[in-house]
Structure 1
Amino acid sequence: MKRLMMKQLAIGGALALASTTVLAQDLLIRNATVHTATSQGTLQGTDVLVRNGRISAIGRGLNGGNAPVLDAQGKPLTPALFAGINDIGVEEVSGESATVDHRLSLGSGNKDMQVRPEFDVTTAYNPESVLIPVARVEGFGWTMLAASPNSGGSFIGGQGGAVRFDGSLDPIGPKVLFIALGGDGANLTGGSRAGQWMILDQLIDEVRGRIPQDSQFALLTPAGRATLAKYFGGGGRVAVGVHRASDIRRVLRWAKARNVRIALVGASEGWKVADGIAAAKVPVFVDTLANLPGDFDQIGATLENAARMSNAGVDVAFTLSDSGSHYARKMRQVAGNAVSYGMPWEAALAGLTRVPAQTFGVGDEVGGIAVGRRADLALWTGDPLDVAHTATQVWMGGRATPMKSRQTELRDRYLHRNETALPPAYSR
């Protein structure tokens, strides 16, 4: 026990040194178990040298020159993790409309449907959201902002994008189009799943000019047509929210016929059609904690969903079904649960790093530890997929980030309230 405490103190002291150089972008991390999340796999007892915010070298016995040195003492080092598909930075308090920007409300009912795929939720992103440090201290460095389907009858929510948790205002990488199909989208298309495919075909006809812009049946603005044209015919990624196995099969068939690059989100019954998903090379984002039939689209939900799809050759990544913005820190638990139900550990780590990065076209920026990439890193006390362990330091672009959030500050305040003076309102 004494030896363990001494090691923890040594790591803590080194991390304190790193924290005093928050503005520095040079760093040498020695003797780490480096989970690269690349083809290099896991490297034992390895050094990582950071120069000007990017990884300069990976190997043993590296010479860091004047760079600050941190002895990891064999602890795991990973890329900063993916926090799922959520609303961090565009939804602060769900019950306060002034803080909710992830949805475009346009009228009500099918009669007034307005399809606005040009809606871009990233223009509302607030990098100073108090939710960001909550996720970041848990080892998460980036997320995908989602545009939710609107209350005006459109199952096309709009566009989202990947953002870093480093205070940057602008997204990284290409935009992603969000669509809700199946039961979630049926109430937005006349109450029938068949209506979804009818309207999708009409939208394609509009994009290709077969329905004039001034037609009484047209659903798109000129900007909407230009936006959708980027996603049809092999263009940008379309994230399709869908759960039922039969709906997934139909989505795969439609995407192939229309040459649309899709990713499935949800896919509670994906395990039933895993071979088809793997053959189509479509990545899937799942919530492994969703194991009950929340609705009739998820009758076949199971804790083994991620493992079965992964073992069938599907690229599986993780997200949360509900409250993703406030509970993104639970993404490690989501991945850990997948491992406990049969998913290989390396595949689960990839689901928080490589798979989402490649899916959303930001693989050269995030999701891996390799020479030339930005040094978005997390050092752990132990297995990063085990919630019994924590991140001891997170670096964004080589800069050590403060390992505190509103929650940790409140915790420390009240744990030590008898040791420090409190404002009169808190005095007994």
Structure 2
Amino acid sequence: MKLKFLLCLILLGSISLQAQEYFPKNDGVKSRNTNYTVFKNAKIHVDPSTVIDKGMFAVREGKITAVGKNIEIPANSVVVDLKGKEVYPSFIDLFSDFGIEKPKKAERGNGQPQYDASREGYYWNDHIRPDTDAVSKFSYDSEKATKLHKAGFGVVNTHVPDGIIRGTGMLVALNPEGTKGDRILKDRSAQYLSFDKSVQSNQAYPTSIMGVTALLRQTYLDADWYAKGNSENKDLALQALNNNKNLVQIFATDNLLNEFRADKVGDEFGIQYVILGSGNEFERLKEIKETGATYIVPLNFPDAYDVEDPYFSEYVSLEEMKRWNQAPANLKMLAEKEVPFTLTTHELDAEKDFKTNLLKAIEYGLNKEDALAALTTTPAKVIGQEGQLGVIKEGAWANFIITSGDFFDKETTLYENWVQGKRAILESMNTTDITGKYELTLNEKTYDLKITGEPSKPKAEVTMNDTKIGSKLSFEDNWVNLLLSSPDTTKTEFIRLTAKVPSASEEFSGKAILPNGKRVNFTASKKDSEIASENDKEKKNKTHEVAPVSFPNKAYGFSEMPEEQNILFRNATVWTNEDAGILENTDVLVKNGLIAKVGKDLNAGNAKVIDATGKHLTSGIIDEHSHIAASSINEAGHNSSAEVTMEDVIDPTDINIYRNLAGGVTTIQLLHGSANPIGGRSAIMKLKWGEDAEDMIFEEAPKFIKFALGENVKQSNWGSESRFPQTRMGVEQVFTDYFSRAKAYEQKKKNKEDYRKDIELETLVEIMNGERFVTSHSYIQSEINMLMKVAESFGFNINTFTHILEGYKVADKMKEHGVGASTFSDWWAYKYEVNDAIPYNAAIMHSQGITTAINSDDPEMSRRLNQEAAKSVKYGGVSEEEAWKFVTLNPAKLLHIDDKVGSVKEGKQADLVLWNEHPLSIYAKPLKTMVEGVVYFDLEKDKAMREEIKEQRSELITQMLKAKNEGVKTQPVTKKEETHIHCNTMHEIH
């Protein structure tokens, strides 16, 4: 080691001789300080898994030159004795806006939406800003740097937090004395992205998460097209994006679903994002692991709720309670799953909250070694600085902290934070630590003295025979002054004690002045070396009761996911929806997720037998028009949003999935809203409660898209005057214009010309080629006629008119066109264009040979679709069997999945519902709802779950009450109204 160190000295000396400075010296004679600082007798945490007891290391010109048990001390060295102290690498924060001025919000102008970009020479969308660079916006913030120093940080990766693609960040050393040139370790360290729009622009598009996702896809496609030299115009944004593609890509998200959405986009384009997480990764650990991403995890745990008021406590959901209870264990679970993660001060006061929450995570089981790795070596690896940052090794930057002991102990003091060999003094290392328990002898009396707190700001608690004595302690320059209330008098009198505390002593003594002025001696002798109070001991030994994670992690979630079963339903009344009709006393065998046999006296084999005597077995209900299970419904930024897909915004945790299963619904078409004439692509979903979004997609289903007509698309009720169209004539022109463009686009593709791949036009080409089907929101007969004619002029048919409340007026023309209908049973007069609706609409269209379905468009109605179907028996005399097909086989036909679902037939998927009685009855309840042979709803289990939910709520409320009683910060309970999503619901993103 000594020989190695001497060789290092020779090498450094030769480098110093060869290096030449090129700045003139105009303010006096200056010379570089090439002395060494050698630290000895320290417990050195070289890296998370390597510790040197009573070790040494040397620092010169900002770098560590040697580390070891014993190293050669050069002649020109300043030696610092760190006996009893510990040294750690300074921490690294990969997600910061340190030194960046908050972007200024654009003025709203005339209040109307902005549809075009405002940045000439850049990308068509203002929210794509890869040309932004943090270096040009950076100014060192000494005050914030001090806060970060106190939390242990020496390096931050900072960026401009604005926009969807935000541009490049920079790696900054928090050197307290350096220049900008010294501090910038990398001026282009990473590219940052998010799901948030730029505040510097009012450009309307995108208005939704699905719009952001589509915009990201199109931007990546355009960047590739641009890189191949296809553009006639210079685009500085795309040019910058291509220049940034080899950088680390950091994607900011704020919830678990968005974490998966970001990873999905990355996978599509071969990009592995580093993801700023939500802290709720524990809810989907398996899927988190499968992303292959490194996560930057904030330590902003939710506060407990103030649940003292029993009525207000009912407004706190079980999901919110569980997250409060479980979030501190998130890091432990990630580490156990071997998911790489780093930690960030994002959204925290670094000085006050970071260490507190970090210690809480350790209380909940996070290993200290894993915690240190998340703060040092892991972020260094992510940012390409292995061996340079996050370690105390030869050649690394001299970035380290000096502490009084184990950093991860509450009472440990952080004395100094060195960055690039420059010292930030946070607490004096010369201050003697006097915390502990003492026996105080004074004037022939004995007191118990307990000193806690930080060494520079200790606090005293004095008792005599378990009676608390008033006291006040001050400590400065190793002089202790203690003021005691006199125990010998009823008057307010005080005893004043003062003493000089010797370094590293187990006792101190001095003078005391009694209330009568008499001077006496006192002695304080440490009783033991245990600093922590009894309460602190209890906390250390405390095991936290962490509620088990369910799927989804809320009320009615499964503790374990249900599995596919082979089941024989014995002796049921089976509604086949086939030529056989309704079969009495019939068996249905489910095997391997399919309907294996339908008949009498079937052999069960190894299948579970369910006695269905007196009960009705049907295929699952299919809702052709639904808006449940979505994070957003409308992308309203443009008059066509064919580029967006509802598959990007599936919310598998929506309680309406479970409620729909409880109503016998097994499949839905999740439709875009009606904000624009050409809406977004659909998601056809199986309601597999507890699964993730991708597993809910009906893989065998064909592709669909939503169109819309009427008041919504021409913005009759929005008050907008700037977005085309404003009239029904304009709506027709939108369709004509976009399909004309799509035809020209397709021709260019067929001619194999160089063309810019356009997701929006690709979708419209699919429609014209019969590869994607159209469901259109509709009301007025004139518009229904118009859209059929437009479609025919471009060589395709409309597949389904949904709502279609004037369908009875044009049923003959619909039949001729070949379009189906998905309507309401008896909604009318809820807005002007519905004035002519009648409850006989479904029956009339059905009578004309149109495939007719009843849909919900409503989360409440969707779980009562069996009753909605029954209304067509009353209104129009439709037979019970045909009425039942309105919500089962007919919507399956409209969705072109009737070969898979919609009837009870051998070979079809086992999407079945067992009803307690006639399914069209208002008294009918599903006893079991099965999707592909898996029972996702069971009425008996539901009853048991309700009791479990009560018990869980009670336990968690007790925990919150106890936490408040212990002085833990709480948040008030607020009533949250459940949003019912319909066609015109908007979810504006910011």
Does the aligned pair in 2 maintain the 1:126–1:169 contact within 8 Å?
A: no
State the shift of 1:36 in Å.
1.4
3-state SS of 2:863 partner: helix
Relative to structure 1, the CA distance from residue 200 to residue 402 in structure 2 (aligned partners, 3 Å threshold; closer, same or farther) is closer
Picking from 633, 639, 655, the partner of 1:102 is 633
State the shift of 1:179 in Å.
0.8
Does the aligned pair in 1 maintain the 2:639–2:725 contact within 8 Å?
A: no
The superposition leaves residues 152-197 of structure 1 with CA deviations (integer Å, 9 ceiling, x where unpaired) of xx32121012100113343331221101113332236432111111
Does the aligned pair in 2 maintain the 1:235–1:260 contact within 8 Å?
A: no
3-state SS of 1:25 partner: coil
The superposition leaves residues 265-290 of structure 1 with CA deviations (integer Å, 9 ceiling, x where unpaired) of 11111111222222333111111131
Does the aligned pair in 2 maintain the 1:236–1:261 contact within 8 Å?
A: no
Relative to structure 1, the CA distance from residue 35 to residue 211 in structure 2 (aligned partners, 3 Å threshold; closer, same or farther) is closer
Relative to structure 1, the CA distance from residue 274 to residue 125 in structure 2 (aligned partners, 3 Å threshold; closer, same or farther) is same
Alignment of 1:171 with 2:698, yes or no, is yes
Alignment of 1:286 with 2:808, yes or no, is no
The superposition leaves residues 368-396 of structure 1 with CA deviations (integer Å, 9 ceiling, x where unpaired) of 21111111110111121222111111122
Partner of residue 836, structure 2 = 300
- Identical aligned pairs, as a percentage? 25
Partner of residue 247, structure 1 = 783
Does the aligned pair in 1 maintain the 2:564–2:932 contact within 8 Å?
A: no
User: 2:620 is aligned with what amino acid?
Assistant: A
The superposition leaves residues 228-279 of structure 1 with CA deviations (integer Å, 9 ceiling, x where unpaired) of 1001143321011111122222223333333323210111111112222223
Q: Distance in 1 between matches of 2:746 and 2:599?
A: 59
Alignment of 1:140 with 2:665, yes or no, is yes
The superposition leaves residues 121-173 of structure 1 with CA deviations (integer Å, 9 ceiling, x where unpaired) of 112212232211111011111100001244xxx32121012100113343331
Q: Distance in 2 between matches of 1:344 and 1:186?
A: 39
**Please, what is the CA RMSD of the aligned residues?**
3.1
User: 2:787 is aligned with what amino acid?
Assistant: V
Q: Distance in 1 between matches of 2:820 and 2:886?
A: 10
5 Å-filtered alignment, 1:22-61, equals: 22-61=562-601
Alignment of 1:350 with 2:885, yes or no, is yes
Alignment of 1:389 with 2:914, yes or no, is no
Does the aligned pair in 1 maintain the 2:624–2:895 contact within 8 Å?
A: no
Picking from 613, 638, 641, the partner of 1:116 is 641
Does the aligned pair in 2 maintain the 1:21–1:400 contact within 8 Å?
A: no
The superposition leaves residues 64-101 of structure 1 with CA deviations (integer Å, 9 ceiling, x where unpaired) of 212111121142110111134112210xxxxxxxxx32
State the shift of 1:24 in Å.
4.5
Does the aligned pair in 1 maintain the 2:674–2:712 contact within 8 Å?
A: no
Q: Distance in 2 between matches of 1:353 and 1:47?
A: 20
Partner of residue 897, structure 2 = 362
Q: Distance in 2 between matches of 1:279 and 1:365?
A: 27
Partner of residue 11, structure 1 = none
Relative to structure 1, the CA distance from residue 21 to residue 251 in structure 2 (aligned partners, 3 Å threshold; closer, same or farther) is closer
Q: Distance in 2 between matches of 1:421 and 1:170?
A: 36
Partner of residue 742, structure 2 = 207
Alignment of 1:184 with 2:706, yes or no, is no
Partner of residue 683, structure 2 = 161
Partner of residue 270, structure 1 = 807
User: 1:53 is aligned with what amino acid?
Assistant: G
Does the aligned pair in 2 maintain the 1:133–1:405 contact within 8 Å?
A: no
Relative to structure 1, the CA distance from residue 405 to residue 222 in structure 2 (aligned partners, 3 Å threshold; closer, same or farther) is farther
Does the aligned pair in 1 maintain the 2:620–2:902 contact within 8 Å?
A: yes
Relative to structure 1, the CA distance from residue 350 to residue 24 in structure 2 (aligned partners, 3 Å threshold; closer, same or farther) is same
The superposition leaves residues 361-418 of structure 1 with CA deviations (integer Å, 9 ceiling, x where unpaired) of 222222121111111110111121222111111122222224369997897689x99x
Please report the TM-score for the alignment, with normalisation by the length of structure 2: 0.36
Alignment of 1:311 with 2:847, yes or no, is yes
Does the aligned pair in 2 maintain the 1:76–1:382 contact within 8 Å?
A: yes
Partner of residue 13, structure 1 = none
State the shift of 1:224 in Å.
1.0
Does the aligned pair in 2 maintain the 1:155–1:189 contact within 8 Å?
A: no
Q: Distance in 2 between matches of 1:64 and 1:316?
A: 37
Q: Distance in 1 between matches of 2:770 and 2:608?
A: 46
3-state SS of 1:179 partner: strand
State the shift of 1:425 in Å.
10
Partner of residue 406, structure 2 = none
Does the aligned pair in 2 maintain the 1:88–1:326 contact within 8 Å?
A: no
5 Å-filtered alignment, 1:330-345, equals: 330-342=864-876, 343-345=878-880
Q: Distance in 2 between matches of 1:426 and 1:405?
A: 31
5+ unaligned residues in a row in structure 2: which ranges? 1-559, 716-722, 749-755, 962-990
Pick which of 396-405 and 163-172 moved more: 396-405
User: 2:915 is aligned with what amino acid?
Assistant: W
Relative to structure 1, the CA distance from residue 346 to residue 198 in structure 2 (aligned partners, 3 Å threshold; closer, same or farther) is same
Q: Distance in 1 between matches of 2:919 and 2:674?
A: 33
Q: Distance in 1 between matches of 2:934 and 2:940?
A: 17
User: 1:73 is aligned with what amino acid?
Assistant: T
User: 2:887 is aligned with what amino acid?
Assistant: L
3-state SS of 1:300 partner: coil
Partner of residue 398, structure 1 = 933
Relative to structure 1, the CA distance from residue 400 to residue 413 in structure 2 (aligned partners, 3 Å threshold; closer, same or farther) is closer
The superposition leaves residues 275-330 of structure 1 with CA deviations (integer Å, 9 ceiling, x where unpaired) of 22223331111111313x23332221111111121122221101124xx2344112
Does the aligned pair in 2 maintain the 1:35–1:77 contact within 8 Å?
A: yes
Relative to structure 1, the CA distance from residue 205 to residue 254 in structure 2 (aligned partners, 3 Å threshold; closer, same or farther) is closer
State the shift of 1:43 in Å.
1.8
Does the aligned pair in 2 maintain the 1:137–1:405 contact within 8 Å?
A: no
Please report the TM-score for the alignment, with normalisation by the length of structure 1: 0.80
5 Å-filtered alignment, 1:250-261, equals: 250-261=786-797
Q: Distance in 2 between matches of 1:327 and 1:341?
A: 18
3-state SS of 1:275 partner: helix
User: 1:235 is aligned with what amino acid?
Assistant: E
Relative to structure 1, the CA distance from residue 421 to residue 372 in structure 2 (aligned partners, 3 Å threshold; closer, same or farther) is same
Does the aligned pair in 1 maintain the 2:661–2:937 contact within 8 Å?
A: no
Partner of residue 328, structure 1 = 862
Q: Distance in 1 between matches of 2:942 and 2:609?
A: 30
Q: Distance in 2 between matches of 1:119 and 1:210?
A: 19
Equivalent pairs, count: 378
Does the aligned pair in 2 maintain the 1:307–1:344 contact within 8 Å?
A: no
Could you say which structure has the greater relative contact order, defined with CA pairs below 8 angstroms and 6 or more residues apart?
Answer: 1
Q: Distance in 2 between matches of 1:425 and 1:337?
A: 49
Q: Distance in 1 between matches of 2:862 and 2:684?
A: 14
Partner of residue 212, structure 2 = none
More strand by share: 2
Q: Distance in 1 between matches of 2:685 and 2:561?
A: 24
Does the aligned pair in 1 maintain the 2:779–2:834 contact within 8 Å?
A: yes
5+ unaligned residues in a row in structure 1: which ranges? 1-19, 91-99, 107-112, 214-219
Rg larger in structure: 2
Alignment of 1:63 with 2:603, yes or no, is yes
Relative to structure 1, the CA distance from residue 399 to residue 257 in structure 2 (aligned partners, 3 Å threshold; closer, same or farther) is same
Does the aligned pair in 1 maintain the 2:788–2:797 contact within 8 Å?
A: no
